[in-house]
Amino acid sequence: MSISNAGLFAALNQRIPGGVNSPFRAFQAVGGVPPVLARGQGARVWDVEGNQYVDFCCAWGPLMLGHSHPVLIEAGRQALEEGSVFGASTPWELEFAEAISAAYPSMQKLRLVNSGAEAVASALRVARGATGRARILKFEGCYHGHVECLDSVGVEAEQMGGPLALGASPGSAAETVLAIFNDLDSLNQKLEQHRGEIAAVIIEPIPGSMAVTRPRPGFLEGVRSLCDEFGVLLIFDEVLSGCRVARGGAQELFQVKPDLTCLGKALAGGMPVGAYGGRAELMDLVAPLGKVYQAGTFCGNPLTVRCGTANLALLAQPGVYSRLAEATDFLVASLKGLHPQLQVVAYPGMFGLYFAPHEIENHLHMELVDLDFYGRFYHRLLKAGFYLPPSSLDAAGLSTVHTREDLERFVQAVSEGLS
């Protein structure tokens, strides 16, 4: 009996809310039935019907080496044979932590966790413990994962009915202050209004959930300066940009040093992982040295960290990011001018593709994006064999295994999809 995407997705809906374990997989933003993916190799994925796609989603970012890289498979195999989890210290944790600190010198000490959202939640605890303050300032449109005090505020939360409708604590949401991305006056006003109350400013230095948003020249430097002026910690959420736009993420690209950094799945080539870290005196507040409590049986498990160390070693090889930058530049140049409203904003390893009169600079511009047009366009590309994030407001990905031929075929498909 043949298996179909529609049939299997209908069966998934009987056991899993919406048929998915993460909402955007349900294709609500583009419509239609999502393909149920069964296999990945290199830059390609196959669904249960055997349809092949060139993958420009890359598991929402982390697959810098593509699917099923042989070096990562071997690292995982060794871990499975020798022990995938102990709940105790292992030598591989040290190798992985040292590799992370080498790429991110601002992370003098760090903790390994299991996801980017867990890293963010833990970093907020450190910031509150270090400052004795409760409030956190975030920029509207920046996404920081399933963290209650951050994802239950702002325009999107209001549209869904507010914190209680989202199952979040109104008290937790009330502790969060909102500012406008790329607007230093907005940040200065909020810091002044809540002087002495804010523990940290958290920011995606390159937002990847309001498409890919380019920080204006001097904006990140200005955020750093204002945090110093008001005695507030600066947290870079590099779950999306880390190990993607550069080996050392956006902080390497822009040469702006945060107090704390949050990293995620790209550290380990797609294995479930997160890390948070920063100055040693801040991280020494974490238990057992300090009173900021964070724990987890699977934190730093051998399966993840052995794959992570292998992944970071491959990404540290000379020329990896220069070749990725060349591929990204070629893609942007080739797509430019294909449609009067086609916007392509890119950094090495990630790009945003959406339809609007001009580039998005903050959440106020998101209403200009033509979501319906993208939905129709998306399904034309899917039919042509190209798998993008099923939302025009989420960053697409490039890996080291995408070829020039893949990119040329993609550009041709985009051109035909727009006709």
Which one, of 149, 119, 209, 265, lies nearest residue 393 by Cα?
209
Per the DSSP assignment, residues forming a β-bridge with 233 are 200
For residues 178 and 189, the answer to whether their CB atoms sit within 8 Å is: no
- Residue 95 vs residues 99, 242, 349: alpha-carbon distances, Å: 6, 18, 25
The interaxial angle of helices 219-230 and 184-193, nearest 10 deg, is 10
Which of 47, 190, 259, 265 is catalytic? The answer is: 265
What is 162-226 written as a DSSP string? Answer: -TTTTT--HHHHHTEEEEETT-HHHHHHHHHHTTTTEEEEEE-SS--SSSS-PPPTTHHHHHHHH
Catalytic residue at 265? yes
Distance between CA atoms of 151 and 366, rounded to whole angstroms? 17
- Count CA atoms within 13 Å of residue 115 on its CB side: 7
Distance between CA atoms of 208 and 241, rounded to whole angstroms? 8
Which of 53, 104, 143, 378 is catalytic? The answer is: 143
For residues 72 and 305, the answer to whether their CB atoms sit within 8 Å is: no
Distance between CA atoms of 122 and 137, rounded to whole angstroms? 16
SS3 112: strand
Asked if residue 70 has a cis previous peptide bond (ω within 30° of 0), the answer is: no
Structure tokens at 395: 């960053």
Per the DSSP assignment, residues forming a β-bridge with 179 are 139
Catalytic residue at 143? yes
Structure tokens at 4: 């179909």
Distance between CA atoms of 373 and 354, rounded to whole angstroms? 9
Which of 55, 151, 237, 259 is catalytic? The answer is: 237
Which one, of 157, 154, 213, 155, lies nearest residue 181 by Cα?
213
What are the b/e assignments for 178-200, b being 16+ CB within 10 Å?
Answer: bbbbbbbebbbebbeeeeeebbb
Helix (H) / strand (E) containing 278: strand 274-278
Catalytic residue at 237? yes
What residues are labeled active site? 143, 237, 265
